[in-house]
Structures are given as structure tokens and as C-alpha cells.
Amino acid sequence: MQKPTNRTFCSSYSDKLCHSPSLSLKKKMVGRFEGKVVIVTGSSNGIGRATAVLFAEEGAKVTITGRDDKALAETRKEMQVVGAKKEDIVAIQGDLIDEVIQKKIIDATIEQFGKIDILVNNAGGTAPSNTSTHGFDQTMETYDYVMNLNTKVVLSLTKRALPHLIASKGEIVMVSSIAGLPFALPGLPYYSMSKAALEQLTKSLAVKYIADGVRVNSVNPGAISTTIMQKQGLSEENARKAEAAVSSNRTLIPAGRIGAARDVAEAIAFLADRRVSSFIVGHSLVIDGGSSIMCPIFSVNMADTHN
């Protein structure tokens, strides 16, 4: 009597291996950015740190940058906690406004890893830390600083990285802001102008370099829990109080909460992952819990105004 044969849906030996429990487990453990080389500027805290940690968690080799050496060391530590090896991290301490630092970032990345696959232009700011004025009372020196940091530096570093990104058919993700969208922000005029310029830069680069295989997109965060308010002079306690007040007002954030740095990091990773976003080019992805789609006048119940 003929023995019954084992029935299987695998059509070949290699298919059977794919369904091996041990191999399947190993396959799942491979991160989506395994083998990729990423530069994340402004990685010493906030969105930059969360982004660097996420890429490390997903198997990438990462160059991190920042002005604060201690904070940068903390970022490195968090990256190693999620699995990054010491040799898979390059840390460059310095001010990106310095062109020597820009060159060092590119050169050190190529020397250590041999290529660049993804550039995340995250570094930016609203004003120098010693500025106490706001709005249009800020000086033209502050204007020059903000435009330089948020726009000129981004363009300069991108141009340095582009030959390597063209070679790898890579990705560029700009970290812009909802401040760059077509809304009036008289309290932060220089910052919003710089981010609006970054929007145009994103689209122009996207059109120019997609033919070379390089995709360029941006993320536009809204209210995110970072250290930005402390940098503007608020104590940590008052910053948290401000966040709580904004979160509780759904006419400001319909989602009812302040965003986390990880929310933005996940959006950056999505745009940097060609397997899931390959047909997205020159796009500005808003991450703001619905803030920018609100129309302030309609957030008021008109019936209540007649009481």
C-alpha cells in the first residue's frame, strides 16, 4: 500500500525554507532599513533623537549631529539600547551653520559607511537662545540667523550629500512645520518665512532630482512635545502647562493631544521607505492632529454669540 505523501502549499524547497519557523523568525527580525545609511541632523533631542533611534531600531547605520555633546551621547545611548552597534553610529558634534561641520558630517559618514542612502534635514530653530524679543520686534540679525539655519544650511548640506544620494538612488526628508503653510504667524514671522522657503526648496529639489532616482519630501509637524518652548524661555513646568492647555482645547487640536516626537519620526521613516512610498514625490506630510484644517471662525458656535 502506498504511503500518503505530505501535502504542502510550498512549490519548491526554497518555499519550504521560507515557512521554516526559525527562518521566519529571523526574517521578521530584519529591520526595514537594514543596510541603509542615514544622516539625521539635529539629533541631540526631540524629533531628531526620536528619528535616529527609530532608524537604529530598524537596522540602519546612522550619523547623528548636534551642538550639545552630552545630549548627543544620550541619543547614542538610546540607539544602542534598541540594538545599534557602536560601529554603526557616527556622532558629529558642532554647529551646522559652520561649513566645516557640514563637510565633516558627509566625509565622516562616507569614511565609516561608504555611502549615504537617506538624509533627514531636521536641524532648525526659531531664534538664537539669547533672544528675548518676539515677533517683528526681533532684530534683522535674528532674521539672518533663522533664515540661515532653517533654509541656507539645509540647502548647503543637501548639495554636499546629493552626489552620494544620486549614486544610491536615495531619499531626502525635510523637517518643515505647519508654520510653513499659508497661514499668518505674526508671533513667529521669521521662522514661518524660513519654513515656507523650505517648502519651496523641497518641491524644487523633488522635481529636479527625481529623474536621478532621488526622492525629496517633507514632514510638517504641528504642536509636538519637544524642548522648543524651553528654548524660547519657558520653564519645563510652564511648557508642560502650556501643552496641557492646548491639548484640552479641541478647537486647536481636534485629536485632543500634543504630538510626540515619535509620531513625526514614524512619518519620516514612512517617506524614507521606498517600498511603501515610492510614488510620493515633493509632498508635504502634515502631522498635527488636525490643527491646520481647522477654520477658527467656525470653531465658535454662532448661536452662543447671541446670548
pLDDT at 132: 72
Selected catalytic residue, list 145, 190, 191, 209: 191
pLDDT at 103: 99
Tell me the sheet residues that pair with 38.
62, 118
| 162-206 tens-digit pLDDT | 999 999 999 999 999 999 999 899 999 999 999 999 999 999 999
Instruction: Name all domains of the chain by residue range, CATH numbers in brackets.
Output: 32-226+258-292 (3.40.50.720)
Q: What is the CA radius of gyration of the chain?
A: 23
pLDDT at 250: 86
| 77-110 tens-digit pLDDT | 999 999 999 999 999 999 999 999 999 999 999 9
What pTM does this model have?
A: 0.85
Does 31 have pLDDT greater than 80? Answer: yes
191 is catalytic: yes
Q: Which of 135, 132, 223, 229 is nearest to 179 (CA)?
A: 223
Q: What is the DSSP string of 88-139?
A: GEEEEES-TTSHHHHHHHHHHHHHHHS---EEEE----SS-TT----GGGS-
